[in-house]
Amino acid sequence: MLVPLEWLNEYVKVDCGAEELARRMTFSGTKAESVTFLGEEFENVVAGRLLTVEKHPNADKLQVSQVDVGRGDGASLQIITGATNVRAGDVVPIALDKSRLPGGVRIKAAKMRGVESQGMMCSIQELNLSKHDYPDAADDGIFILDPSVVPGTDIREIFGLDDAVIDFEITPNRPDCLGMLGIAREAAATIKKPLTLPPALTQGRKSEDARNEAQGGAPDIAELLSVEVRNEAQDGAPDIAELLSVEVRDAALCKRYTARVVTDAVIKPSPEWMKRRLRNAGVRPINNIVDITNYVMLEMGQPMHAFDARFVGGGKIIVRRAGDGEVIRTLDGGDRALDASVLVIADSEKPIAVAGVMGGENSEILPDTRTIIFESANFEGVSVRRAAKKLGMRTESSSRYEKGLDPDMTRAAADRAVELAELLAAGSAARGCIDVYPAPLPPARVRFSPERINALLGTSLDREVMLDILRTLEFSYDEAHNEIIVPPFRMDVGMEADLAEEVARFYDYNNIKATLNPGSAVTIGLRTYRQQLKKHVLDTVVACGFSEIYTFSFQSPKVYDRLRLPQDDPLRCAVRIGNPMNEDMSLMRTTALPEMLKALADNHAQRTPAAELFELAATYHPADGAGNAPTRPDGSAAARSGGPAAASPVSAAAAPVSEVAASAADVAAADALLPVQRTSLTIGAYGAPNDFYTLKGVFEDLFFALGIRDYEFLPCRDAAIYHPGRAACIKIGGKDAGAFGELHPDVAEEFGTPERTYAGCLSLEAVYEAADLSRSYTRLPKFPPVPRDLALLVDGGVTSGELIRVMKKAAGSLLETIDIFDVYTGKQVPEGKKSMAYSLLFRAEDRTLTDEEVGALVAKIVAALAAAGAELRT
């Protein structure tokens, strides 16, 4: 909300400066986003009257002018211009010697073709003003000002730029502050100054001819606005009832409809003071009538509309829902298809406005409009919001209505509009007012309990202090009922907590003393077992040398093909976002592997020679396994447009917001329907010394750290993502828990990772399930171990796992450990064979093993190995 200080000053005298006001308002709850001093880019730019204009002696295209810039000594300046549109007598903007123009342009006196120029005449572009605002300004030449402007007047004053504009952030609960009056009320309470209401809200005004308002120059607006103008009709004026009738057919969506009529209208530009205020508040002036509607909206927060009565067929306004198939061309020129969800203003035949959103082209104010209907209505917020969204046209009006406006103010706003029409000599008021307000809202009342307010805030404020604050904000106190009566414009206040906030923000939040729940029972802050496990996983993988990454949860539908996943792979079954940022971010990921590969590829592209990365990544899986599978080809798009009829079981489980509290059962019901969220440890590495066994080692360390013993790694030949000979499936407790391996060269190429890149995923649910953090000490052995080494010659395809199984089985319980210490192919090993060397450790709990015992065991092992095709190397 842009608030020009000059405008605000009409209601409350701000004597502390814009910046201080902005700061104080921020701490009383109206946050100032910025303060702009409009003319701050101008320095030493004034109006000058051209006394003479003559040809430059040395240049055909230049003219030399003597200019009166209002200097006290009466001296004129000599200024040269290349423009051709200036004549003696014109008043033009002059950038003096050592002046500054918008964009940081500095102007200095200089000689042009041997003749001194003591400044520069300015075009509208050089002043950075809009042609829209000043249509008469020359496109190509000097901006000729109104001849009544006094030479020497500062340019900022002429264009109303001698003002500061504060941009306030208005939260959705305070639509009253989307008007200068609302801001003025807050400002008055904040800086403790009286509030002056605008004339339409005051009584007993004297009549005066206000039609002499000035063009050009800078009139004293305060004086202008203090003239007391009738908004009641003169004798002999027509009665509104002769001109208009209003019928509200949907009182739920239109709580109040107020209309006033102005006759004998003259459509012309608004006076400069009004245009300036509108402009500085961010609204483009159009013509006097449209400007009045905007002015009242900005002043009071009440959206207004003006119809040309000629086009209101039958002289009758009907507020009704649109018929299906009805179309209206709105003021912005677009044709809008309507339906019964949209409230319209219609005449006896056709819609003439979309209620609360935008007027129709068929009834707009034209240059020859003579009779005007001012509409000041209260439309229901949700319906306006829906209509605006549906038609894709949020307007200043709709964004106010949707927040829920005070129906009390429509009458005052209509009167204010008529008053301004009189003030601007835009027309004459017709007698009377049509005001359809079937069910006036009683003022809200809230129990007043200073004790409870203090209890909520942790303060010990006196009740009188609270009442003082509330009264400043125009609340009143009904002592008999011990209730606070809320002023009508404060639609946001309806309960005790709201009063507490009003009190707190003017007491200043920062005066509330810090405490740490002194009355509360001590609670134990501990991680749950799951949370401890997760931290363990994280700490272990980090200790293994891997660094953690964070990636987005979105996924492209194209990613499955890039991963070479089969068409029926369950990972292809994803939750689709109804309104994604783009197609590549349209699914919720079912695997975090693609993002891991992207991270590896990005690091590779940065020429990082090696990287070891991991993510504890959530993945998302449709509850019913449907997702974007062929059964629901267009996914949620259908569901989204399904409307209320297609109420899903979720909404059935979760009843609409009402007095009935939700319960734990609702949580269970929701969880049963929501997609399943899982977490995986996704891991990836490339570059020396990383290889397949690096990843395997991380998993082994992790299992060790978490006390998981029942796991195995099995060859994984059919996972299309991986190199078929260099991948493993991970099983925990016999169940699939993940897979990892070297990327298939096709996948590596597709993702731009190095050729030898290793990656994998492990289900953390499976890890958590099997984890066992309990520990029990095993006594250290008392007797020494007996080591033996065995070097075996086996076929190339034999795995170490098989050999170890054979050895363990043959050796029995005295074999304590087997470690492989060498795998060798090459010289001295026959083609197709490999040498595998193991170091075995034998030990008995109760005695020192003898050479004979160990010799016998080794013989058994060697025999079993031989039977399995492994030959002892000697």
Partner 1 sequence: MKERLVQIESDAERAIAQSANLRDIEEARLRFWGKKGELTAVLRGMAALTPEERPAAGQLVNEARARIEARLSEAEARLTRLALEQKIAAETLDITLPGKRRSPGHKHPITLATEAICETFLGMGYQIAEGPEIEIDHFNFELLNIPKDHPARDTQDTFYIDDDVVLRTHTSPVQVRTMLTRPLPIKIICPGRVYRVDTADATHSPVFHQIEGLVVDRGITMGDLVGALSTFAKNIFGEDTKIRLRPHHFQFTEPSAEVDVTCWECGGKGCRLCKNEGFIELLGAGVVNPKVLKMCGIDPEVYSGFAFGLGIERVATCKYNINSMRLLYENDIRFLRQF
Site for partner 1 in 558-577 (CB under 8 A): 575-577
Give the burial class of 831: count Cβ atoms within 10 A of its Cβ; 0-12 exposed, 13-18 middle, 19 or more buried. exposed
Q: Least distance to partner 1 from the beta carbon of 639, Å?
A: 4
Q: Least distance to partner 1 from the beta carbon of 512, Å?
A: 5
Longest CA pairwise span in the chain (Å): 134
Footprint of partner 1 on 620-639 (CB under 8 A) = 620, 636, 639
Candidate segments 358-366, 597-605, 807-815, 850-858, binder of partner 1 by CB under 8 A: 597-605
Look at residues 736, 752, 732, 755 and name the one whose alpha carbon lies nearest to residue 744: 755
Of residues 496 and 853, the one with the C-beta less far from partner 1: 496
Of residues 367 and 656, the one with the C-beta less far from partner 1: 656
Q: Least distance to partner 1 from the beta carbon of 114, Å?
A: 48
Of residues 194 and 518, the one with the C-beta less far from partner 1: 518
Candidate segments 104-112, 580-588, 822-830, 847-855, binder of partner 1 by CB under 8 A: 580-588
Taking the alpha carbons at both ends of the chain, their separation in whole angstroms is 91
Q: Least distance to partner 1 from the beta carbon of 578, Å?
A: 4
Q: Least distance to partner 1 from the beta carbon of 102, Å?
A: 23
Q: Which residue has the tokens 């342009």?
A: 105
Question: Of the candidates 662, 791, 818, 829, which one interacts with partner 1 according to CB under 8 A?
Answer: 662
Footprint of partner 1 on 354-373 (CB under 8 A) = none
Residues 6 or more apart whose Cβ sits within 8 Å of residue 596: 549, 551, 613, 615, 682, 683, 684, 759
Of residues 453 and 836, the one with the C-beta less far from partner 1: 453
Question: Of the candidates 56, 305, 385, 756, which one interacts with partner 1 according to CB under 8 A?
Answer: 385
Q: Tell me how far the alpha carbon of residue 56 is from its chain's centroid.
A: 58
Amino acid, single-letter form, for residue 150: V
482 forms part of the interface with partner 1 (CB under 8 A): no
Footprint of partner 1 on 50-109 (CB under 8 A) = none
CA dihedral 52, 55, 57, 60 (to 10 degrees): 160
Q: Least distance to partner 1 from the beta carbon of 695, Å?
A: 13
Of residues 495 and 856, the one with the C-beta less far from partner 1: 495
Q: Least distance to partner 1 from the beta carbon of 474, Å?
A: 18
**Token pair of 545 as six digits:** 């040398």
Instruction: Using DSSP, state whether 801 is helix, strand or coil.
Output: helix
Of residues 45 and 457, the one with the C-beta less far from partner 1: 457
Give the burial class of 378: count Cβ atoms within 10 A of its Cβ; 0-12 exposed, 13-18 middle, 19 or more buried. buried
Beta bridge partners of 447: 483
Beta bridge partners of 683: 614, 760
Q: Least distance to partner 1 from the beta carbon of 385, Å?
A: 5
Residues 6 or more apart whose Cβ sits within 8 Å of residue 54: 63, 64, 65
Q: Least distance to partner 1 from the beta carbon of 664, Å?
A: 5
Amino acid, single-letter form, for residue 459: T
Q: Least distance to partner 1 from the beta carbon of 275, Å?
A: 30
Question: Of the candidates 415, 419, 612, 750, which one interacts with partner 1 according to CB under 8 A?
Answer: 612
Question: Of the candidates 333, 656, 784, 830, which one interacts with partner 1 according to CB under 8 A?
Answer: 656
Amino acid, single-letter form, for residue 289: I
Footprint of partner 1 on 321-350 (CB under 8 A) = none
Residue 784 CA to residue 673 CA, distance in Å, equals 61
Instruction: Using DSSP, state whether 551 is helix, strand or coil.
Output: coil
654 forms part of the interface with partner 1 (CB under 8 A): yes
Q: Least distance to partner 1 from the beta carbon of 827, Å?
A: 32
Q: Least distance to partner 1 from the beta carbon of 749, Å?
A: 21
Beta bridge partners of 409: none
Instruction: Using DSSP, state whether 712 is helix, strand or coil.
Output: strand
Of residues 75 and 521, the one with the C-beta less far from partner 1: 521
Of residues 579 and 874, the one with the C-beta less far from partner 1: 579
Of residues 650 and 820, the one with the C-beta less far from partner 1: 650
791 forms part of the interface with partner 1 (CB under 8 A): no
Binding string, 387-406, against partner 1, x = CB under 8 A? ------------x--xx---
Residue 271 CA to residue 426 CA, distance in Å, equals 11
* CB count in 10 Å sphere of residue 547: 11
Q: Least distance to partner 1 from the beta carbon of 461, Å?
A: 12
State the number of binding residues for partner 1 (CB under 8 A).
Answer: 108
**Token pair of 313 as six digits:** 């067929």
Of residues 38 and 617, the one with the C-beta less far from partner 1: 617
Type and span of the H or E element at 681: strand 676-686
Q: Least distance to partner 1 from the beta carbon of 319, Å?
A: 20
Footprint of partner 1 on 728-747 (CB under 8 A) = none
Of residues 375 and 380, the one with the C-beta less far from partner 1: 380
Of residues 59 and 639, the one with the C-beta less far from partner 1: 639
Question: Of the candidates 651, 817, 825, 850, which one interacts with partner 1 according to CB under 8 A?
Answer: 651
Footprint of partner 1 on 422-481 (CB under 8 A) = 455-459
DSSP strand pairing (372-379 vs 245-248): unpaired
Of residues 280 and 383, the one with the C-beta less far from partner 1: 383
Of residues 102 and 675, the one with the C-beta less far from partner 1: 675
The string over 423-446, giving b where at least 16 C-beta atoms fall within 10 Å of a residue's C-beta and e elsewhere, is bbbbbbbbbbbbebbeeeeeebeb
Instruction: Indicate the angle between helix axes 18-28 and 180-191, nearest 10 degrees.
Output: 90
**Token pair of 839 as six digits:** 């170091």
Binding string, 750-789, against partner 1, x = CB under 8 A? ----------------------------------------
Footprint of partner 1 on 484-503 (CB under 8 A) = 495-498, 500-501
Residue 344 is classified by DSSP as E
DSSP strand pairing (351-354 vs 327-329): unpaired
Of residues 366 and 655, the one with the C-beta less far from partner 1: 655
Binding string, 673-692, against partner 1, x = CB under 8 A? xxx-x---------------
Footprint of partner 1 on 13-32 (CB under 8 A) = 26-29, 31
Q: Least distance to partner 1 from the beta carbon of 575, Å?
A: 6
Tally DSSP H helices, then E strands, for the chain.
25, 39
Candidate segments 8-16, 60-68, 72-80, 579-587, binder of partner 1 by CB under 8 A: 579-587
Residues 6 or more apart whose Cβ sits within 8 Å of residue 304: 292, 293, 294, 296, 297, 374, 375, 376, 413, 414, 417
| Residues 365 and 372 sit within 8 Å (Cβ to Cβ) | yes
Type and span of the H or E element at 382: helix 381-391
Of residues 149 and 544, the one with the C-beta less far from partner 1: 544
Type and span of the H or E element at 603: helix 593-605
Of residues 386 and 731, the one with the C-beta less far from partner 1: 386
Look at residues 591, 457, 570 and name the one whose alpha carbon lies nearest to residue 512: 457
Q: Outline where DSSP puts E strands in 13-159.
A: 31-37, 43-56, 59-68, 77-81, 91-101, 105-107, 110-112, 115-117, 119-121
Instruction: Using DSSP, state whether 544 is helix, strand or coil.
Output: coil
Instruction: Using DSSP, state whether 319 is helix, strand or coil.
Output: strand
Footprint of partner 1 on 503-562 (CB under 8 A) = 504-505, 509-510, 512-528, 531, 538, 541-554
Question: Of the candidates 9, 66, 78, 173, which one interacts with partner 1 according to CB under 8 A?
Answer: 173
Footprint of partner 1 on 813-872 (CB under 8 A) = none
